Structure 1
Amino acid sequence: MPLKKCHRQMGGFALTTVAWLLCCISTGLPQWQVWHYEDPVILKPTVALVGMWRACIFHTDSNSSNTRVCYQYKYDGSIHLYIQVNQHLLLVSSFLGLFGKITTIIALSNVHMGRVRRNATCNPFRLSGILNIIASSFLYLAVLFNYIAIMSKWGIAFPPSFNLPFQPDIRKMGSATALAIIAAVFFLLSGTICLSSNLAIGKVPHSKM
């Protein structure tokens, strides 16, 4: 299979690359939850962004301009369990997506060099597809836990220095969740393409009698 004919495989590689970038971006963003509450100190409506690694609070100064102050979580087990679980899910998804991208490059290189056999039982496309599908599943789990936390109104005991309430008046999903969902869909599509490509390569043509 010449490399110029690997349109589907190249499309799968492009999807893996975009999915991995979106996964990394969503992991670092604080916009997993948007909190609206009244600050007990200044007695004004306040907006906070609650992410998996940090929380950011928007303060309005005397000039009516917003300033954002972010606080990093400490690794002392004080943060809510679902956030700790999501941290691991997002990290694993990022690493799996990276490995899936690398194996796709190896698979395309093997095709270009003519190293792929039609009767091969072990093919990098299959490994890449499996890695991408697992990464997609982990991302979906992270989004699901975040959604459950919002719908169930799970409180978060932030350190006193954060000046954040245990529960806000209103909370909703943020843009980081949407990016994670898109990344999960792209990982799933890429994994499906890679697995189907492996089947096409591994198919042995019937000899004519």
Structure 2
Amino acid sequence: MPLNYGVFSAFVLGTVGWILCTISMGIVEWRVWHVDNTTIISSGIAWVGIWKVCFISYLHVSPGYEEQFCHKFSGYDSSIPHEIYAAQGLLLIAMFMGLLGLTATIFALRNVYMGITDKTLITRFFLVGGFFYVFASLCILIPVSWNFYSVTHNQSIAFPPSYYMPSSPAVQEAGAAIPIGIVAVILLLLSGTFSLSNLTILLYEPAELPSCHI
């Protein structure tokens, strides 16, 4: 069974998109807060992620850091906005769905390279992988767009006193995690599209008839 470029594109785009999803989930720069009071936040800049808040401070330093204070979110902080907790859950789901999509695509490629001509088996792997990619992209799109909306509207967060954070910044902007997440959405969506469109090629590809000798 011949292998077209759509298969390779789906695998490469899905791999890069999944990697970017994990990067976006792990870094703290989702929202960048610029604050006027630099007594505690020495640099005047604080980073609000989906797992914790961090800023440069010479007054309060977290263990393991030289000049940085970080405070992790807990499930009991009712003041933390819903979009942050939604991002935690949805990005974990997206990472898992993307991994399943990669696994399905790898199995499909393996069957093609091994010369397995069972189209039903191969198309099932591409179908499953394509849906996993699309579902993963939607799981990333929701928290990324939701948090970007909060940033553009300069929404405040009533942090508890233990965070040493003001309730609202002077100015806030989108951090690196948001554009990385947007790129991950695009790549995973393209990967899913290529995987699903490849089904048409496989299903309607003329079957190779065995040669007969009389």
What secondary structure is seen at the aligned counterpart in 2 of 1:56?
Answer: strand
Corresponding residue for residue 57 of structure 1:
55
Give the deviation of 1:18 after TM superposition.
0.8
**Are positions 1:48 and 2:49 aligned together?**
no
CA contact (8 A) 2:43 2:56 kept: no
Q: How does 1:34-183 map to 2 (within 5 A)?
A: 34-39=32-37, 41=39, 46-59=44-57, 67-78=67-78, 79-118=80-119, 123-183=124-184
Q: Distance in 1 between matches of 2:85 and 2:171?
A: 23
Distance 1:80 1:119, change over 3 A: closer
Q: Name structure 1 gaps, 5 residues minimum.
A: none
Q: Distance in 1 between matches of 2:50 and 2:39?
A: 26
Q: Distance in 2 between matches of 1:43 and 1:93?
A: 33
CA contact (8 A) 1:118 1:203 kept: no
Give the TM-score of the pair, scaled to structure 1: 0.86
What secondary structure is seen at the aligned counterpart in 2 of 1:123?
Answer: helix
Q: Distance in 1 between matches of 2:106 and 2:43?
A: 50
Q: Distance in 2 between matches of 1:105 and 1:120?
A: 13
Corresponding residue for residue 191 of structure 2:
190
Give the deviation of 1:28 after TM superposition.
0.8
Give the deviation of 1:154 after TM superposition.
2.4
CA contact (8 A) 2:108 2:122 kept: no
Distance 1:43 1:160, change over 3 A: closer
Distance 1:10 1:42, change over 3 A: closer
What secondary structure is seen at the aligned counterpart in 1 of 2:44?
Answer: strand
Q: Report Cα offsets for 1:53-107 as digits up to 9, x if no partner.
A: 111112368xxxx932221111214221111111111111111111101111111
Aligned residues: 201
Which of the numbers 12, 17, 20 marks the counterpart of 1:19? 17
Q: Distance in 2 between matches of 1:35 and 1:43?
A: 10
Q: Report Cα offsets for 1:9-28 as digits up to 9, x if no partner.
A: 12211111111111001101
What secondary structure is seen at the aligned counterpart in 2 of 1:127?
Answer: helix
Q: Which has the higher strand share?
A: 1
CA contact (8 A) 1:56 1:70 kept: yes
Q: Name structure 2 gaps, 5 residues minimum.
A: 60-65, 208-214
Percent identity, aligned pairs only?
34
Give the deviation of 1:118 after TM superposition.
3.8
Give the deviation of 1:155 after TM superposition.
1.9
Q: Which moved more, 1:42-51 or 1:27-36?
A: 42-51
Give the TM-score of the pair, scaled to structure 2: 0.84
AA aligned opposite 1:158: F
CA contact (8 A) 1:150 1:171 kept: yes
